[in-house]
Amino acid sequence: MSKNIKKVPTQEYEDAVVTVALYVEGLRIGSVPILSQAFHRDATMYGLIDGKLHQGPIKNLYDLVEKNGPAPNIKTRIDVLSITSTTAILRVDVENDAIGANYTDYHTLIKLDETWYIISMVYHRYEE
């Protein structure tokens, strides 16, 4: 007989969203120190821009933020697609980043020592 038990507390959803919100805030103000709080030190990123694969360590994102600066008019929506007690997948819809681009991100998170970290980011950039 299965039990009808809620396995993941609502607070876990909120905490995972707070982590991804650090990413968004880092983009908004152009701050690598804020942005890097959201990511595990070994995080990776992958995405397609104009049909070409861009991949590598999360430092590539930090370099872009340093190069392009803040995105004061950025608009985002964060959705929790799936969550367990130690893993999560969140989607971020982004409009008007620092260079005016729009894209969708998928962030995979892991919970280590009671803290959520983004370990991978896969993104799709929309054509201008």
What would the pLDDT profile of 2-52 be if each residue is shown by its tens digit?
A: 788 888 989 999 999 999 999 999 999 999 999 999 999 999 999 988 788
| Any domain includes 37 | yes
| Any domain includes 4 | no
> Using 50, 70 and 90 to split pLDDT, how confident is the model at 1?
low
| Any domain includes 2 | no
| Any domain includes 111 | yes
The structural domain count of the chain equals: 1
| Any domain includes 54 | yes
pLDDT at 50: 79
Name residue, tokens 């929506």.
77
| Any domain includes 1 | no
Evaluate if pTM is beyond 0.75: yes
What would the pLDDT profile of 64-95 be if each residue is shown by its tens digit?
A: 999 999 999 999 999 999 999 999 999 999 99
* Residue 125 pLDDT > 70: yes
**Mean pLDDT score of the chain:** 95
Q: Which domain holds residue 90?
A: 10-125
| Any domain includes 22 | yes
User: 124, 85, 71: which is closest to 102 by C-alpha?
Assistant: 124
| Any domain includes 88 | yes
User: 40, 7, 35: which is closest to 111 by C-alpha?
Assistant: 40
User: For residue 107, what is the domain's CATH number?
Assistant: 3.10.450.50
SS3 assignment for 74-125: CEEEEEEEEECCCEEEEEEEEECCCCCCCEEEEEEEEEECCEEEEEEEEEEE
